[in-house]
Structure 1
Amino acid sequence: MAYLVPAEFVTKMVDAGEAKIYMSTRDTLVRAYMAGAILALAAVFAVTVAVQTGSFLAGSILFPVGFIMLYLMGFDLLTGVFVLAPLALLDRRPGVTVQGVLRNWGLVFCGNFAGALTVAFMMAFVLTMGFNTDAGAIADKLADVGESRTLGYAAHGTAGWMTIFMRAMLCNWMVSLGVVGAMISTHVSGKAIAMWMPIMLFFYMGFEHSVVNMFLFPFAMMMGGEFSIMDYLLWNEIPTALGNLVGGLAFTGLTLYSTHYKTAPKRQLVNSTVLNNNASLVKP
Structure 2
Amino acid sequence: MYVKPNDLVTTMIDAGESKIFMSTRDTLVRASMGGALLALAAAFAVTVSVTTGIALLGAVLFPVGFIMLYLLGYDLLTGVFVLAPLAWLDKRPGVTVRGVLRNWGLVFVGNFIGAFTVAAMMAVVVTFGFDTAPNEVGEAIGHIGEGRTLGYAEHGAAGMLTLFVRGMLCNWMVSTGVAGAMIAKDVPGKAIAMWMPIMLFFFMGFEHSIVNMFLFPSGIMLGGEFTVMDYLVWNEIPTVLGNLVGGLVFTALPLYATHARTAARRSLPIRPTATRDEVDQPA
Aligned to 1:256: 255
> 2-side partners of 1:126 and 1:148: how far apart?
23
Task: Name the aligned partner's letter for residue 146 of structure 2.
Answer: E
* Distance apart, 1:261 and its partner CA: 1.3
Q: Secondary structure at the match of 1:104?
A: helix
* Shift of residue 183, structure 1, vs aligned partner: 0.3
Q: Tell me how far apart the structure 2 counterparts of residues 90 and 50 of structure 1 sit (CA, whole Å).
A: 41
Aligned to 1:184: 183
Q: Which letter maps to 2:57?
A: A
Percent identity between matched residues is 71
**How far apart are the structure 2 equivalents of 1:180 and 1:51?**
31
| Residue 134 (structure 1) aligns with | 133
Tell me the secondary structure at the aligned position of residue 251 of structure 2: helix
Q: Secondary structure at the match of 1:218?
A: helix
Q: Deviations over 1:126-158 (max 9, x none)?
A: 111110012211111110010010011111111
What pairs up with 1:1-284 in 2 under 5 angstroms?
2-263=1-262
Letter in 2 for 1:178: G
- 1:78-104 deviations in Å (ceiling 9; x for gaps): 000000100111111000001000000
What is the Cα deviation at residue 7 of structure 1?
Answer: 0.3
SS of the aligned residue for 2:2 comes to coil
Partners of 1:206 and 1:156 in 2: CA distance:
17
**Which ranges of structure 2 fall in alignment gaps of 5 or more residues?**
266-283
Partner of 1:119: helix, strand, or coil?
helix
The normalised TM-score by structure 1 is: 0.92
Which protein has the larger Cα radius of gyration, Structure 1 or Structure 2?
2
1:50 Cα shift? 0.6
What TM-score, normalized by structure 2, do the two folds share?
A: 0.92
Instruction: Name the one with the larger helix percent.
Output: 1
Task: Provide the residue aligned with 1:282 in structure 2.
Answer: none
Shift of 1:263: 2.1
Q: For the residues of structure 2 that align with 1:51 and 1:145, how far apart are their CA atoms?
A: 12
The count of aligned residue pairs is 265
Residue by residue over 1:162-212, the C-alpha shift from the partner in whole angstroms, topping out at 9 and shown as x without a partner, is 110000000000000000000011100000000000000000000000000
Residues in 2 aligned to 1:23 and 1:162: alpha-carbon distance in whole angstroms: 35
Letter in 1 for 2:140: K
Instruction: Output one character per residue of 1:220-279: Cα deviation in whole Å (capped at 9) or x when no partner.
Output: 000001111111000000000000000011100110010011129x78xxxxxxxxxxxx
Cα separation, 2, equivalents of 1:133 and 1:94? 56
Gaps of 5+ in 1: 268-284
SS of 2:128's equivalent?
Answer: coil
